[in-house]
Homo-oligomer: A and B are copies of this chain.
């Protein structure tokens, strides 16, 4: 059996810090090309290359039946009408699903079926789960006014594929309209 300390971890629901794991921070500059409003993006960058989100992960083992888990924090904020969000990813092993568990704050997960382009918006909040099936690009978005934190659990062999999303982006964007998040087609909004 693995040594006991490899089997144990803890996380802080307020900060998404995992004990003994490094958190990687993504700044506005890391999200070049993600936001639809390039003018607003450049204006925000001119002020500050702000911290947008952090991710940390725990990877106890890497066999066929193993799982890893990650913890994420997304800062509150917007670029134009679009909320702060993660880059989003597919899994290298396309069949791999991911179970998200909300810890604090409120947001949504944008999902896009890789084959059909069909998009779904799922609410993410404390003690609620969102199940992201395989073959589904997904991006987490903070639609609230406080940090959004969450866990994501996935098969150890899932792997992260950012490149497919980086090339074509998500078909839909989530924007603030009358104080509420709405999902609209990217091509329907003016730049």
Which residues of A, 1-38, contact B by the 8 Å Cβ criterion?
1-2, 4, 6-13
- Contact across chains for A127 and B97 when beta carbons are under 8 A apart: no
- Contact across chains for B155 and A8 when beta carbons are under 8 A apart: no
- Contact across chains for A132 and B7 when beta carbons are under 8 A apart: yes
- Cα separation A2 to B99 with both chains bound (whole Å): 14
- Contact across chains for B7 and A130 when beta carbons are under 8 A apart: yes
Residues of B near A63 (CB, < 8 A) are: 95, 97, 134
Residues of B near A111 (CB, < 8 A) are: 1, 7
- Contact across chains for B10 and A153 when beta carbons are under 8 A apart: no
Which residues of A, 132-180, contact B by the 8 Å Cβ criterion?
132-134, 136, 151, 153-155, 158
The residue of chain B having its C-beta at the shortest distance from the C-beta of A114 within the complex is B1
Determine whether A54 belongs to the interface, using a CB cutoff of 8 Å to chain B. Answer: no
The residue of chain B having its C-beta at the shortest distance from the C-beta of A95 within the complex is B65
Determine whether A86 belongs to the interface, using a CB cutoff of 8 Å to chain B. Answer: no
Chain A, interface residues (CB within 8 Å), range:
35 or more
Contact of A133 among B7, B118, B127 (CB under 8 A): B7
- Contact across chains for A99 and B8 when beta carbons are under 8 A apart: no
- Cα separation A94 to B66 with both chains bound (whole Å): 11
Nearest-neighbour CB distance to chain B for A86, whole angstroms, equals 18
- Contact across chains for A10 and B69 when beta carbons are under 8 A apart: no
- Cα separation A8 to B93 with both chains bound (whole Å): 23
- Cα separation A132 to B91 with both chains bound (whole Å): 24
With known contacts A120-B1, A127-B11, A128-B9, A134–B65 Cβ distance under 8 A:
yes
The residue of chain B having its C-beta at the shortest distance from the C-beta of A156 within the complex is B97
- Cα separation A64 to B91 with both chains bound (whole Å): 13
In addition to A4-B120, A60-B131, A61-B133, 9 A-B residue pairs with Cβ atoms within 8 Å of each other are: A1-B111, A9-B131, A12-B127, A65-B91, A65-B155, A66-B133, A67-B67, A69-B129, A99-B153
